[in-house]
Structure formats: structure tokens, C-alpha cells
């Protein structure tokens, strides 16, 4: 390479400027190797454009954060009940109590049979079961499952063993 060879009207050599991990020309702050020199005015315009872009990005980011924060507030308010119980209060009130009781009995039977020896089960024995799950079945499952944060869980498990 020839030293101090200025190309495309530049007054500095390539590599005399470093910004954001890129080499460039010090005379115009161009980071494109074969770009034509725009001089000090080009450097000023590039600096203003960079500042304007940074402010636009900051504004867009703050707007996005505001929108996301509002959405999260709305979603949290709507799903407090659902997160706690897996269903909204309206859905729980619409359930048929007799169907829930029947589903609870089936859930208990299913839990008891799951504790039996699984080695004696036939290969395709689970294939004949119906895969549809109703709201009553989901409510029965929620009522019958053990909750880890329940302080009475240990007491109830001892009582069930008697």
C-alpha cells in the first residue's frame, strides 16, 4: 500500500478515524471505505443525524415501554383470578355442581389407580380413554390436586392415609 495516498477528495487516510467499532476517514467521519469526502460539513451533518436518530430511538423505546406497561397492568388485573384458580369467576359460577362432583369422583379414582403398580398395565390400555377435557373436569382436578404452598397439605395427606 502506498502511504499518505488520499482518494476520493479526502484529506486524511483510511483508518485515521475510529467510531463504534468501525474504521473511517478523520476528515469527514465516513465509515464507508470508498465514499466520497463530504468535508467538515458532512461530519457535522452526520453528527446531527446520529443525535436525532438516538433521540428518536429513545422516544420510540419510551412509548413502547409505556404501552407494554399499560398492557401488563390490564392483563394482570384480568388474570389475577384466572392465575389463582385457572379460570375466571364467571366460568366457575357457570359450572354444574353435579357434573363437578362426578368429575371429582373420577379424578379420585384416577389418582388411586395411578398409585397402583403400573407394570401390570396393558400396552394400549390408555388408548381407549376419551381425550376431551371439560371445565368440570378441570375444576375437579384443581380441587383434588395437592398445593405445595398449602399449610394443611401435610395434614390432609396423613388423614388420607388412615
- The CA distances from residue 69 to 22, 73, 113, 153, in Å, are 36, 6, 47, 37
Check residue 60 and give its pLDDT. 94
**Cβ neighbours of 44 (radius 10 Å):** 13
pLDDT in tens, 93-133: 677 778 778 887 887 777 666 655 566 666 666 665 666 77
Using CB atoms within 10 A of its CB, is residue 86 exposed (0-12), middle (13-18) or buried (19+)? Answer: middle
Q: Give me the mean pLDDT over the 146-159 stretch.
A: 69
Q: What is the maximum alpha-carbon separation in the chain? A: 94
Residues contacting 32, CB < 8 A, separation 6+: 24
pTM of the model: 0.37
For residue range 6-24, what is the model confidence (pLDDT) as tens digits? 888 888 888 888 988 889 8
pLDDT band at 54 (very low <50, low <70, confident <90, very high): very high
DSSP annotation string for 101-135: HHHHHHHHHHHHHHHS-GGGS-TTTTTTS-----H
Contact 6, 12 (CB under 8 A): yes
Amino acid at each position: 500500500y502506498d502511504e499518505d495516498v488520499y482518494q476520493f477528495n479526502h484529506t486524511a487516510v483510511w483508518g485515521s478515524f475510529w467510531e463504534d467499532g468501525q474504521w473511517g476517514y478523520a476528515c469527514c467521519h465516513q465509515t464507508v471505505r470508498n465514499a466520497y469526502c463530504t468535508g467538515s460539513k458532512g461530519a457535522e451533518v452526520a453528527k446531527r443525524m446520529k443525535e436525532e436518530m438516538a433521540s428518536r430511538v429513545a422516544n420510540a423505546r419510551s412509548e413502547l415501554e409505556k404501552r407494554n406497561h399499560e398492557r401488563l397492568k390490564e392483563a394482570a388485573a384480568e388474570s389475577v383470578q384466572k392465575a389463582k384458580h385457572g379460570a375466571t369467576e364467571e366460568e366457575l359460577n357457570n359450572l354444574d355442581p353435579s357434573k363437578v362432583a362426578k368429575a371429582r369422583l373420577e379424578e379420585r379414582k384416577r389418582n388411586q389407580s395411578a398409585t397402583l403398580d403400573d407394570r401390570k398395565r396393558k400396552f394400549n390400555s390408555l388408548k381407549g380413554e376419551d381425550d376431551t377435557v371439560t371445565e368440570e373436569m378441570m375444576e375437579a382436578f384443581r380441587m383434588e390436586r395437592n398445593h405445595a404452598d398449602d399449610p394443611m397439605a401435610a395434614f390432609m395427606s396423613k388423614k388420607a392415609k388412615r
